[in-house]
């Protein structure tokens, strides 16, 4: 195997294989000798003399780099393919880790190709995928949480991606994982402007609407955290509902296909499920966005109704992360073996049915209303948990100041079981769980869930009270 040598900005050298393995609009990609990383050289050989680009790369690899955080760096290394070095010879480039194997297709004519989101968000392409690669709806939901978390962390670092899209998010629906790529062109507000405008279908309307203006025109809008928020909402909508939120039947008077697209995705963009203007609504919207529950419905409305043309109305990535996590607690397994989803959001207790297949569950379903003490004696509702057999309870359910983020303790504290016609909460690790009558419930003991009962999950500070509603369907 022939190799050649590249020199890094820190003076070290690295061997790489001079056979092109991939190419994008700006870079050409080569494997290192051991194939544990890739070298991505900029096609523009004058890039090395661009002091602004060098400063951007140094900032991205250094002070803005979330993978260097001593507490959470290892966690975010799995969510970002973050560059690890700058190449200066034979010309400017970066080193980045090779994508894990699960982000490459292993079967059929797709074998060896990267799992770009494109394959999974386009309905026609999704139908062509092998069953084992297509994944489950539950795993798409997991991907949404992880993506929102990654974008939130990036924005917290003061960065914007600028091209958050189906091309730059690799996903593995068979395991529910994702990774954000193309990190080297991140936007640092007021320091480093964007290199690209974005990808078709994900470019925010205000960017498309002003694309014709000169670069130095103050009215021209460029990629930023606000445009990332639009792209994030589009991706979440696509992952969960399998369609694009703006691609409907409405035709705009235009002189060309390009102008039609600029209007459809830009100044005339209209949500296909706009609650008051139905002119862009497809005929067969099988599962509406409202089937995902109030937390996500409100976020989609802010993104695609209020915030489509008013950037200040768009939800931040942290709001998506919180809304998705709250909705996760409302998931319920569909008992129909032919259901394409296998899960649905149980948000309407007056009409419990799976929107994906129409089937209705039978029996009793406990719903736990989680209450937090805001001041002495005042317990306010701050969450709900829909219970099913073998569901686990975690510390973020027990304590109102904990969140299921990157630093969360994922040790189960208790689990739910349907046993001999009764619903039970079986203690595993809770130190001060008490029964409805106030008696201690030690580990390996259980609390019976009955309609209307209340009990404390913990007597410690921030411990929640639970109120049980028994739903009979």
Give the domain extent around 60.
Answer: 1-71+83-98
Asked whether the predicted pLDDT for residue 193 surpasses 80, the reply is no
Residue 159: inside a domain, yes or no? yes
Q: Are 92 and 230 found together in one domain?
A: no
CA distances from 286 to 239, 282, 331, 356 (A): 15, 10, 19, 8
- 149 found inside a domain: yes
Residues 450 and 466 reside in one and the same domain: yes
Which ranges in 411-466 belong to alpha helices (H)?
A: none
Asked whether the predicted pLDDT for residue 191 surpasses 90, the reply is: no
Measured CA to CA, the distance from residue 32 to residue 208 in angstroms comes to: 38
Mean pLDDT value across residues 394-419: 97
Question: 128 in a domain, yes or no?
Answer: yes
Which CATH number covers residue 92? Answer: 3.30.200
User: How many domains, in total, are found in the chain?
Assistant: 3
- What is 33-90 written as a DSSP string? TTSSEEEEEES-GGGGG-HHHHHHHHHHHTTT-GGG-TTTHHHHHTTB----EEEEES
- 78 phi and psi, to 5 degrees? -80, -20
Burial of 296 (0-12, 13-18, 19+ CB in 10 A): buried
Do 380 and 409 have their domain in common? yes
CATH code, domain carrying 223: 1.10.510.10
273 is a domain residue: yes
Closest CA to 334 of 352, 364, 354, 349: 354
Q: Bigger pLDDT: 175 or 23?
A: 175
Whether 50 and 159 map to the same domain: the answer is no
Q: Is residue 250, in this structure, part of any structural domain at all? A: yes
State the average pLDDT over residues 319-326: 98
Q: Which of 98, 133, 160 is the endpoint of a domain? A: 98
Residues 91, 233, single domain; the answer is no
Phi-psi category of 337—alpha, beta or left, where left has phi over 0 and alpha has psi -120 to 50?
alpha
Which of 284, 307, 328 marks a domain boundary?
328
Mean pLDDT in residue range 423-448: 97
Residues whose CB falls within 8 Å of the CB of residue 281, separated by 6 or more in sequence, listed in order? 248, 249, 272, 273, 274
**Same domain for 116 and 62:** no
DSSP 188: B
* Same domain, residue pair 87 and 119: no
Kindly state whether residue 465 falls inside one of the protein's structural domains.
yes
Task: Give Cβ neighbours of residue 189 (< 8 Å, ≥ 6 apart).
Answer: 158, 160, 224, 225
What single DSSP character describes residue 304? I
Does residue 107 form part of some domain? yes
CA pair distance 252, 435, nearest whole angstrom:
63
pTM of the model: 0.95
9 and 154 both lie in a single domain: no
The 10 Å CB-count burial string (b at 16+, else e) for 146-163 is bbbbbbbbbbebbbbbbb
Place of tokens 């924005």: 155
Task: Give CA–CA dist 225/158, Å, rounded.
Answer: 9
Q: How far is CA 172 from CA 114, 144, 222, 340, 382, in A?
A: 10, 12, 30, 18, 32
Together in a domain, 146 and 108:
yes
Q: Is the pLDDT of residue 15 over 70?
A: yes
Q: Clarify whether residues 191 and 302 are in a common domain.
A: yes
What CATH number has the domain bearing residue 389?
Answer: 2.60.200.20
Confidence at residue 48, expressed as pLDDT on a 0 to 100 scale: 63
**What residue ranges in 228-280 does DSSP mark as E strands?**
none
pLDDT in tens, 100-154: 999 999 887 788 889 999 999 988 888 888 888 889 999 999 999 999 999 999 9
Which CA distances in Å does 65 have to 83, 225, 432? 9, 17, 40
Residue 16 corresponds to which tokens in the numbers above? 């790489």
Average confidence score pLDDT of the chain? 93
User: What digits encode the pLDDT tens for the residues 49-85?
Assistant: 777 788 889 999 999 999 999 999 999 999 999 999 9
Asked, for residue 294, whether it belongs to a domain, the answer is yes
All residues at 6 or more sequence positions from 343 whose CB lies less than 8 Å from its CB, including other chains: 136, 137, 138, 141, 331, 332, 333, 334
Q: Residue 94: pLDDT above 90?
A: yes
Q: Are residues 206 and 287 in the same domain?
A: yes
Percent of the chain clearing pLDDT 90 (strictly above): 77
Domain stop point among 305, 328, 351 = 328
CA angle 340, 323, 302 (to 5 degrees): 100
Are 259 and 277 members of one domain? yes
């Amino acid at each position: 195997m022939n190799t050649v040598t590249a020199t890094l900005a820190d003076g070290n050298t690295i061997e790489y294989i001079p056979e092109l393995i991939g190419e994008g609009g700006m870079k050409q990609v080569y494997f290192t000798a051991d194939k544990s990383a890739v070298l991505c050289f900029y096609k523009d050989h004058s890039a090395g003399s661009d002091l602004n680009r060098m400063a951007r790369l140094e900032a991205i690899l250094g002070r803005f780099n979330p993978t260097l955080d001593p507490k959470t760096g290892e966690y975010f290394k799995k969510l970002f393919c973050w560059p690890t070095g700058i190449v200066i010879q034979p010309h400017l480039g970066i080193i980045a880790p090779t994508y894990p194997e699960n982000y490459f297709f292993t079967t059929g004519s797709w074998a060896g190709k990267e799992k770009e989101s494109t394959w999974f968000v386009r309905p026609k392409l999704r139908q062509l995928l092998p069953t084992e690669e297509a994944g489950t709806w539950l795993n798409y939901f997991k991907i949404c949480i992880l993506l929102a978390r990654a974008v939130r962390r990036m924005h917290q670092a003061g960065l914007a991606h600028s091209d958050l899209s189906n091309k730059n998010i690799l996903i593995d629906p068979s395991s529910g994982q994702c990774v954000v790529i193309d990190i080297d062109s991140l936007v640092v507000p007021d320091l480093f402007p964007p290199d690209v405008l974005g990808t078709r279908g994900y470019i925010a309307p205000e960017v498309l609407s002003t694309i014709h203006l000169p670069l130095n025109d103050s009215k021209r809008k460029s990629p930023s955290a606000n445009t990332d928020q639009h792209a994030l909402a589009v991706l979440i909508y696509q992952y969960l509902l399998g369609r694009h939120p703006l691609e409907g039947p409405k035709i705009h008077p235009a002189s060309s296909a390009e102008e039609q697209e600029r209007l459809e995705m830009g100044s005339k963009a209209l949500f296909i499920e706009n609650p008051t203007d139905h002119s862009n609504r497809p005929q067969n919207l099988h599962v509406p966005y409202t089937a995902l529950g109030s937390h996500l419905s409100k976020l989609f409305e802010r993104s695609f109704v209020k915030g489509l043309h008013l950037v200040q109305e768009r939800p931040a990535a942290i709001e998506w992360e919180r809304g998705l996590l709250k909705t996760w607690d409302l998931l319920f397994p569909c008992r129909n073996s032919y259901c394409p989803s296998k899960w649905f959001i149980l948000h309407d207790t007056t009409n419990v049915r799976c929107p994906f297949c129409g089937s209705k569950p039978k029996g009793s379903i406990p719903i736990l209303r989680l209450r937090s003490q805001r001041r002495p004696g005042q317990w306010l509702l701050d969450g709900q948990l829909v219970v099913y057999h073998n569901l686990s309870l975690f510390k973020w359910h027990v304590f109102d100041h904990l969140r299921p983020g990157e630093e969360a303790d994922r040790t189960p504290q208790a689990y739910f079981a349907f046993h001999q016609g009764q619903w039970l909460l079986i203690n595993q690790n809770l130190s001060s769980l008490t029964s409805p009558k106030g008696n201690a419930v030690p580990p390996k003991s259980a609390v019976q869930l009955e309609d209307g009962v209340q009990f404390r999950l913990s007597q410690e500070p921030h411990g929640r009270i639970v109120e049980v509603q028994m739903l009979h369907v």
